[in-house]
Copies of this chain bind each other. A is one copy, B any other.
Amino acid sequence: MTLNIYLSGEIHSDWRERIVAGASGLDVSFSGPVTDHDASDDCGVRILGAELNKFWHDHKGAKLNAIRTRHGIAGADIVVVRFGEKYKQWNAAFDAGYAAALGKSIIVLSPPEHQHALKEVHAAALAVAEEPEQVVQILRYVLTGALPG
């Protein structure tokens, strides 16, 4: 049993690296968005030509990123959605909704202070964790049945 896992959301902390490192040795395959902020913002105009209007600048980029995002979520068994302390993070919530409608297993990784605001997202999740290490423990349990010592 291999698990394909899409890591959605926050790109300003090392949560992805901690999960990937912690899951070393497990039969898992990770994917996620482009995490280079500038590349992600400017990919559309860099490849397809500049736009005067910021809306279309962003639009072109968001659509290129959607190619990667949709492919990753559609191919995933589990979608982990991380909400950090800052920013609007509507793309994370959007990914969660998208994954929920596809029937994916969702794990939300979020800090306690966002509990109330995330209650609808949490309600669609099979697990709500606060630390990346808990996500690793979930993956290990799901794959091997082993619990933390």
Interface residues on A, range: 35 or more
Residue of B nearest to A102 (CB): B101
Given A1-B31, A122-B62, are A93 and B97 also a contact pair (CB < 8 Å)? Answer: yes
Whether the pair B61, A119 counts as a contact (CB closer than 8 A) is yes
Besides A47-B141, A62-B119, 20 more A-B contacts (Cβ < 8 Å) are A3-B71, A47-B138, A48-B128, A54-B116, A55-B122, A58-B115, A59-B123, A61-B119, A62-B120, A64-B126, A66-B124, A67-B126, A83-B90, A88-B114, A90-B121, A92-B93, A94-B120, A94-B124, A95-B97, A101-B102
Q: Is A18 on the interface with B (CB-CB < 8 A)?
A: no
Q: Mark A114-144, 1 if CB is under 8 A from B, else 0.
A: 1111111111101111000010011001100
In the complex, how many angstroms separate the beta carbon of A50 from the nearest chain B beta carbon? 11
Residue of B nearest to A107 (CB): B67
Q: Is A14 on the interface with B (CB-CB < 8 A)?
A: no
Residue of B nearest to A133 (CB): B47
